[in-house]
């Protein structure tokens, strides 16, 4: 066995600086000579190699904020009357509201995974999601959403293919992890710019919810002074992966050493994370039930050494940790790697010694971690001590022994700051091209990579999982969820940050990012409640870069004090969490654009009033809230080569912005908004185009607008393409007078802009009678294809088995009644990796069942006691081999085969559908055998996961008993990567149809044949099938995610979409039955 140098003492005092640096680099440590000597000074002796490795992590920029902390403290407001937990733990928490006597908090965390994603894009992006959700879970909460602000290099020209691959693979990493974990993706943004050619930025935001009295802290509790507390490590076995990750993230990225750096990137496993998430929930429940206080923290940078030292120090304790007790992958892992590796999917807990055995049982027996993943388990690895010493050992051999405050105290630098650049001379107003060219410029602008539709990206992500989504990506400026069942309180969240502004003026970049994120939240009726920041910059040792950083942070702070908490007496908008990512530059010295990226979370008083941004009805009035000034500096139009206005940044009036945001929130809460959209990238031109365009299928609406009196000094280009910021709001004609009173009362600057018209064009007129008319079909083609034509996967033909879906006839949306009387007992199977059991059980309960989640570790024989069964969606057993194949061999499926033989009803949804197919329950011609395949989606131009709403049509002559009494068509969402029903002989599906074994097929959504259609290339557009007895329904779409009316997109071209629009503000109706509940009701009725 190779000798382990972890215990070696490094002769810091005896080595000169050059020799010391060589010794440090020989062990892949990034400490400089002065820092190593400081370690020796603190310890009072030469350190061991393990101690130097530990300090290398703890003193990295990533962990210590050694260059940024003083600036953050100087400029950012972090407290407020709504702040429950500020930026002192893994995530911040702000007040959400009280429902039925329970006070809830919204958790928000913000991180970056930039360097890892540049080197290994799939793994880097995936572990970014994995790390940020752990921060929420460790606060005792449930993740209710994630967002992903992304920045990529320019994908065209020389080197563009590599940068394009990075973008595609980052998206793959995000969907592979987030979708498998079962957290909804609520938004994000993406920019392409040459400054990111060598350093992409992958920022991640996680949103959570927690009852205020369930909050868990990342500290050994004070109760450890009265009784002994153990330290428990749970999760994946420790290995070499991620070793040195924090230091890697805190250094200049050297593309030439990319292969060497791959070992610093963690290896993700969302399947294990999902099982751990459910197990953690059970441990915390048991602790609350017993009145036990625990400490809980995830293992990120620094691994075991970091989590144990920080847990203990935060509580005012020391600790004794024995690395010999840590579960490892293999026998050749050195002690310092066991101590400091950033192996993913691990948590640390501090629990009373009397509770330890029960905690270990939950993980190791009740959730059977050792059986699911080789080497995974929970183990006691140490204990809290009251001597204030951090003691790290391997058996009897000591690796580190020091005052714990020494280990965790960090380090700080006073970086040099360059002087501000001299003011530039005022530029002249540009000479413009003829107005006749504006329409063509408008069309070109909406197709720019940084303005075009992001649908190609967000369709990879699942926004519906958990069943509480109100507004999804692409529907509005912010995502909205209603996370507490039965309550109309909601959370709105958005991200923003503009690299073009960052290059021009970092102060304005920070300021505008806050203002625009707050505007986005206001568009859906959210009152800004808090922000987080991710500050992405180059090398802080460069005085100019450090000046940019300080200016951006100053801008963020000023904006927070300017926007304020409207409902709390003008307090500053608090910054409750965040991250600093420095050294985002290449070895050649190329630095990313200064990129302060802001996430804003807002409180929505009534989600039934939330509206999409799409134009609603001809005759509605359009208002401009906040007026443009025509400056062209750092605008998207100028970046696209359009010439207009003066090349200066438009000023941001924070007092005006505060009043405008308040006014739009007031309009929303009064139920006066039909639609709202912020004016930002691309100016009014892109804003109006995005309001006119949207989901295919609905009759298009245009607009006629005129330059307001206050804008008469602007040219048409200045009016359309300037980016000073503001809103366009749509108000129904009869509500116009009330809306104008609300705007005036708020003190906002506003003007009548025009009206919505029944036309397929946008028309803009000035006072002189000049007008620009642009056809919506031209805008739509440019906007929809601008990004897709670059990112789309090549070489994927339209499948030969793709058929035109049938045309359906319009029919009324009729909600089913809730079941009264007998409540049959229905089991919701919880196989490891499934992630839809909670919302499925909730919907079943609403449909009249006594729903019970049945964990895979329970005896399969107990399933016989149930009246019906639901196999939910997710990624059972990680979908190894192929989707559903391993789960079909689980003993629980033998019990389902017996239940089927007894005629009991069985419903399989998405992954559950795949499991039923693999188990031979459907189509059931040769029962128990796999007769059809659910293959990867086959969609021209794209690969992988696909998520959207579709319309199902019942197949005539189907034997499926679930269909009896149901409407012929149902709108429901799909979210899958392997959902294509197929067979080597296409005629086999014709036989299934003729024998009545097909249940639902994908259908067009309107008589014109437009709409979602066949989304994955299934034979005969098959979406669901049954068995000969008709008691089993295997369906790929998700009816449980359409169980309530508020879940239905209001822009959906179906009677249920119209019903959703017509009932805006009606609490009872929108919190009542949606189209999918009918399917679950049938399961209950068949029991």
Residue 793 DSSP one-character state: P
- As separate numbers, helices (DSSP H) first and strands (DSSP E) second, the chain gives 34, 37
Task: Report whether 284 contacts 296 (CB < 8 A).
Answer: yes
The structure tokens listed for 631 are 């400056």
Measured CA to CA, the distance from residue 143 to residue 184 in angstroms comes to 8
Tokens matching residue 1033: 């329904």
Contact 906, 1033 (CB under 8 A): yes
Q: Name beta bridge partners: 349.
A: 232, 296
Residue 163 in tokens? 């940068």
Say if strands 102-112 and 201-211 run parallel, antiparallel, or are unpaired: antiparallel
Angle between helices 121-137 and 270-289 (to 10 degrees): 10
Q: Is the dihedral of CA 838, 843, 845, 850 positive or negative?
A: negative
3 state SS of 12: coil
CA distance 498 to 597: 8
Does residue 254 sit in helix, strand or coil? Answer: coil
Kindly name the residue from 113, 456, 677, 1038 that is annotated as catalytic: 113
Question: What is the number of other CB atoms lying within 10 angstroms of the CB of residue 855?
Answer: 16
For 711, how many CA atoms within 13 A lie in the half-sphere containing its CB? 29
Cβ neighbours for 946, distance < 8 A, ≥ 6 positions apart: 459, 460, 937, 939, 974, 975, 976, 977, 979, 1015, 1016
User: Would residue 115 show up in a list of annotated catalytic residues for this protein?
Assistant: no
Residue with tokens 């190779």: 2
Residue 567 burial class via C-beta count within 10 angstroms: exposed 0-12, middle 13-18, buried 19 and up: middle
Contact 206, 136 (CB under 8 A): yes
Q: How far is CA 491 from each of CA 479, 527, 610, rounded to the nearest angstrom?
A: 8, 9, 11
Whose structure tokens read 């507390």? 229
Catalytic-residue membership of 193:
no
Which candidate, 10, 13, 44, places its Cα nearest to that of 27?
Answer: 10
What SS3 state is found at 584?
coil
Contact 706, 759 (CB under 8 A): no
357 Rama class: left (phi>0) / alpha (psi -120 to 50) / beta: alpha
958 upstream amide cis, omega within 30 of 0? no
Reduced to 3 states (helix: H, G, I; strand: E, B; else coil), residue 773 is strand
Q: Tokens 């009784």: give the residue.
A: 227
Write the CA distances from 422 to 418, 419, 425, 499, 577, integer angstroms: 12, 9, 9, 21, 34
CA distance readout (Å), 212 to 70, 140, 452, 799, 910: 30, 10, 41, 52, 34
Residue positions annotated with a catalytic role: 62, 113
């Amino acid at each position: 066995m190779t000798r382990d140098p972890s215990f070696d003492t490094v002769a810091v005092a005896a080595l000169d600086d050059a020799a010391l640096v060589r010794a440090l680099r020989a062990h892949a440590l990034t400490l400089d000579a002065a820092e190593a000597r400081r370690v020796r000074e603190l310890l009072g002796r030469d350190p061991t190699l393990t101690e130097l490795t530990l300090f290398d992590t703890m003193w990295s920029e990533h962990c210590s904020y050694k260059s940024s902390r003083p600036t953050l403290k100087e400029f950012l407001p972090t407290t407020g009357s709504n702040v429950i937990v500020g930026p002192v733990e893994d995530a911040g928490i702000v007040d959400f509201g009280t429902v039925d006597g329970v006070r809830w908090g919204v958790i928000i965390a913000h991180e970056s995974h930039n360097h890892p994603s540049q080197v290994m894009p799939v793994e880097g992006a995936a572990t970014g999601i994995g790390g940020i959700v752990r921060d929420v879970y460790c606060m005792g909460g449930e993740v209710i959403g994630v967002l992903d602000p992304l920045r990529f290099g320019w994908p065209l020209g020389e080197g563009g293919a590599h940068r394009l691959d990075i973008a595609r693979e980052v998206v793959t990493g995000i969907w592979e992890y987030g979708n498998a974990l079962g957290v909804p993706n609520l938004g994000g943004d993406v920019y392409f710019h040459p400054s990111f050619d060598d350093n992409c930025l992958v920022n991640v935001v996680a949103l959570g919810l927690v009852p205020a009295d369930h909050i868990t802290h990342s500290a050994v509790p004070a109760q450890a002074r009265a009784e002994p507390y153990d330290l428990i490590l749970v999760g994946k076995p420790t290995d070499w992966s991620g070793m040195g990750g924090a230091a890697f993230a805190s250094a200049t990225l050297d593309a030439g050493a990319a292969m060497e750096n791959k070992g610093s990137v963690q290896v993700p496993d969302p399947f294990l994370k999902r099982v751990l998430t459910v197990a953690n929930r059970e441990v915390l429940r048991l602790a609350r039930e017993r009145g036990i206080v625990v400490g809980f923290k995830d293992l990120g940078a620094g691994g075991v050494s970091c989590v144990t030292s920080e847990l203990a120090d935060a509580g005012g304790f020391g600790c004794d940790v024995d690395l010999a007790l840590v579960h490892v992958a293999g026998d050749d892992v050195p002690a310092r790697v066991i101590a400091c590796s950033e192996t993913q999917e691990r948590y640390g807990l501090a629990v009373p010694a009397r509770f330890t055995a029960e905690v270990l049982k939950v993980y190791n027996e009740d959730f059977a971690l050792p059986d699911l993943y080789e080497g995974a388990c929970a183990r006691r690895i140490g204990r809290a001590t009251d001597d204030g010493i951090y003691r790290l050992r391997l058996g009897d051999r000591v690796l580190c022994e020091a005052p714990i405050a020494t280990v965790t105290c960090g380090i700080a630098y006073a970086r040099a700051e360059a002087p501000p650049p001299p003011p530039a001379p005022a530029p002249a107003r540009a000479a413009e091209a003829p107005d006749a060219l504006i329409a063509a410029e408008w069309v070109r602008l909406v197709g720019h990579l940084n303005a075009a539709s992001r649908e190609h990206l967000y369709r990879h992500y699942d926004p519906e999982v958990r069943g509480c989504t109100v507004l999804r990506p692409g529907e509005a400026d912010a995502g909205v969820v209603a996370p507490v069942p039965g309550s109309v309180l909601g959370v709105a969240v958005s991200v923003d940050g503009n690299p073009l502004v960052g290059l021009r003026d970092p102060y304005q970049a920070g300021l505008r990012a806050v203002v625009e994120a707050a505007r986005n939240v206001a568009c859906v009726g959210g009152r800004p409640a808090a922000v987080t920041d991710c500050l992405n910059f180059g090398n802080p040792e460069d005085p100019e870069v450090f000046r940019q950083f300080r200016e951006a942070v100053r801008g963020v702070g000023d904006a927070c004090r300017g926007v304020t908490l409207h409902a709390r007496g003008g307090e500053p908008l608090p910054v409750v969490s965040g991250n600093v990512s420095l050294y985002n530059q290449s070895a050649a010295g190329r630095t990313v654009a200064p990129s302060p990226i802001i996430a804003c979370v807002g409180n929505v008083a009534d989600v039934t009033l939330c509206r999409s941004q799409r134009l609603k009805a001809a005759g509605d009035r359009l208002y401009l809230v906040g007026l443009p000034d025509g400056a062209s500096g750092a605008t998207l139009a100028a970046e696209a080569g359009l010439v207009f206005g003066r090349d200066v940044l438009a000023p941001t009036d924070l007092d005006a912005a505060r009043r405008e945001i308040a006014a739009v929130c007031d309009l929303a809460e009064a139920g006066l908004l039909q639609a709202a959209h912020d004016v930002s990238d691309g100016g009014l031109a892109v804003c109006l185009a995005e309001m006119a365009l949207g989901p295919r299928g609905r009759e298009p609406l245009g607009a006629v607008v005129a330059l307001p009196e206050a804008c008469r000094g602007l040219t048409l280009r200045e009016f359309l393409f300037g980016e000073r910021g503001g809103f366009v709001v749509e108000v129904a004609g009869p509500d116009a007078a009330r809306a104008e009173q609300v705007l005036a009362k708020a003190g906002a600057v506003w003007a009548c802009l025009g009206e919505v018209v029944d036309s397929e064009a946008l028309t803009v007129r000035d006072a002189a009678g000049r007008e620009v008319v642009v056809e919506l079909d031209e805008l739509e083609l440019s906007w929809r294809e601008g990004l897709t034509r670059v990112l789309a996967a090549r070489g994927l033909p339209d499948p030969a088995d793709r058929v035109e879906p049938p045309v359906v006839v319009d029919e009324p949306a009729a909600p089913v009644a809730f079941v009264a009387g007998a409540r049959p007992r229905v089991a919701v199977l919880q196989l490891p990796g499934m992630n839809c059991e909670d919302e499925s059980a909730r919907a079943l309960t609403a449909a009249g069942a006594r729903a019970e989640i049945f964990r895979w570790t329970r005896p399969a024989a107990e399933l016989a006691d149930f009246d019906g069964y639901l196999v939910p969606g997710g990624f059972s057993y990680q979908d190894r081999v192929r989707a559903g194949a391993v789960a079909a061999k689980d003993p629980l499926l033998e019990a389902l085969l017996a239940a089927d033989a007894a005629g009991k009803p069985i419903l399989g949804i998405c992954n559950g559908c795949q499991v039923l197919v693999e188990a031979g329950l459907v189509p059931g011609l040769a029962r128990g055998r796999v007769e059809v395949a659910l293959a990867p989606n086959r969609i021209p131009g794209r690969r992988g996961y696909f998520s959207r709403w579709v319309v199902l049509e019942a197949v005539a002559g189907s034997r499926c008993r679930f269909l009896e009494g149901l409407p012929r068509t149902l709108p429901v969402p799909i979210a899958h990567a392997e959902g294509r029903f197929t067979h080597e002989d296409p005629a086999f599906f014709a036989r299934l149809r003729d024998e009545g074994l097909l249940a639902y097929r994908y259908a067009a959504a309107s008589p014109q044949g437009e709409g979602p259609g066949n989304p994955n290339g299934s034979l005969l557009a098959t979406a669901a099938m049954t068995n000969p007895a008709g008691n089993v329904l295997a369906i790929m779409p998700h009816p449980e995610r359409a169980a309530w009316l508020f879940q239905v997109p209001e822009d959906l071209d179906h009677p249920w979409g119209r019903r959703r629009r017509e009932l805006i503000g009606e609490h009872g109706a929108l919190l009542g039955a949606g189209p999918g509940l009918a399917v679950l009701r049938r399961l209950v009725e068949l029991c």
